[in-house]
Each structure stands twice: as C-alpha cells, then as structure tokens.
Amino acid sequence: MATIIGGLTTSHIPAVGNAIARGQKDDDYWKPFFDGYPPIHAWLEKHKPDVAINIYNDHGLGFFLDQMPTFAIGAAHEYINEDEGWGIPVLPPFPGDAKLSWHIIEGMVEDEFDITSCQELAVDHGFTVPMQLFWPGLGDNPDMPRAIPISANTVQHPIPTLKRALDFGKSLGRAIRSYPEDIKVVVLGTGGLSHQLDGERAGFINKEFDQMCMEKIVTDPEELTKISRHELVRQAGAQGTEFLMWMMMRGALGDKVRPLHQNYHIPVSNTGAGTMMLECIE
C-alpha cells in the first residue's frame, strides 16, 4: 500500500524562479528565504519519495477566470511548463503518474468530491517553483519524484472554505493510502502566507496571523476551519487565500504529525513566506 511520509509547505512566488535562474540564492535579499530549504533537502534525500502531490493554484496558464474549476487533478503522463511572461526560463516537462492520478480521482469522486480531471495541463510558477525549491536541479536531481498537480481555486470567488479544503485533504489522503502499490508519497501545500498584490492594501502582510496559522496547522487544524472566507481575506490579504492549499495538504497527512523544521521570512516579494516540514506519525 502507498504511504504518505509527510507534507511540505512553501511560497511559490514567481520572483523565486528568477532568483534561482540568476544564481541569486546567496544575495542578502534572498539568503534568509533560501536558508529555509537545506534541512528539507536532507530529509528528502533520506526518504526519497516516489511521488510528489503538488497542491497549487493556477495563475492563468492552465485555467482562467472564465473557466476556473474549484478542484482539478492532473491525470497526464507529463506536465508542460510554458512562458507566463515573468521572464522565468521555461522548464522541461515534469514526469507524472497517470495511474496513481486516476486512482485518486476515482477515490475522491466516490467520496463525493467533484473533480475536474486533466489529461493535459500546462503548469505555471505555482507548481514549478516549489519543485525547484525542494528538488534543486529537477531532472538532474537523481531523487526527483514523479509529480501530480492538484489545482485549487483561490482566485475566482466564491472560493472553497477552509473546512472544505481540509476535508479535501482527508479524502485525498484516504485515496492515496488505498493505492495498492508500495510507494512513498509526499504532499506539497504551496502559496502564501499573507500577501496582497494590488488595491488599497497592496503590500499588506500579517505576521501575527501567519505565525498563528503555522502553529495551529500542526496542533489543531480543525480550529482553523472556523475562519470564514471573508475573514481569511481580511486577515491574510486578497492573495493570502492561498492558505487553502496548506489546509488541503494538512488534511492528507492524518490526525497526528511531527513538525521537523520551519522557516518564516518577510518580506519576500511583498509576501509572508512560510516553509514547513511535517512528518506523518503512524
């Protein structure tokens, strides 16, 4: 049976992709952010997951405001990265695991989640930046896993509630664990934390709220489901709704997790950037 070994969180800011491409990781501006990742690299090298479930939100490459599924799961053999206009170099295709994808989709539909299944999906920085951060070198990294993208709507309101996001993760976890093959899976929750990129509150960051979320997502994720969608926008900013993906990841891990590492740094591209490594407790 498949085993979920843990969950990882990270921001997926497009400027990070540029910093990687330009070799700026040791610059004064970027170093406190990139210093949060070596402990995760060591953990991944030790455990070598076979598959990474990458939960992200599309920013207009695969979907747009006229057609924005609430939850979409990739079911392709590979995922193509395309130019988004940020100046980030286009990356080679990412290998998928279509067999596991369809197993997850079938299981979650049985759980009464309405899933958009994507046999083709162009993946943007929301997906590619976390893969670069966790597996430097990507295709040249011998430990790079197969990947399955899961896109959540955090852009076109009405967006899912935090409770729905956590419940999605629980269903995802059940589907993964019921897969009959002996593989190891890591789940990525990407985006956020607090940030707002436009409007009167452009540049808004709420450090106190971010740190509360990083604490509660470990010890009491159910408590976070009491935060309404409007309150989430008020506390975390218009783009801070990306915390939904963290909750989806957390739901998949099960009741108990062990926090192994975390890093929080502001400001990085006007974002409260949080990184966490959570290990599942059987």
Query: Where in the sequence numbering do the catalytic residues fall?
Result: 125, 195
Handedness of CA 112, 3, 10, 206 (dihedral sign): positive
Dist. CA 239–CA 191, nearest whole Å: 9
C-alpha angle with apex 189: 184 to 195, nearest 5 degrees? Answer: 165
Task: State the pairing for strand pair 273-280/184-190.
Answer: unpaired
Query: In degrees rounded to 5, what are phi and psi of residue 240?
Result: -70, -5
CB 73 within 8 A of CB 104: yes
Handedness of CA 265, 129, 162, 39 (dihedral sign): negative
One-letter amino acid for residue 104 of the chain: I
Containing H/E element for 250?
A: helix 243-253
Largest CA distance in the chain: 51
Helices (H), 114-242: 125-134, 162-177, 207-219, 221-224, 229-236
Q: How far is CA 104 from the centre of its chain?
A: 17
Q: How far is CA 170 from the centre of its chain?
A: 15
Three-state DSSP class for residue 104: helix
For residue 101, give every residue at least 6 positions away whose Cβ sits within 8 Å of its Cβ, in sequence order, or none. Answer: 73, 74, 75, 76, 117, 148
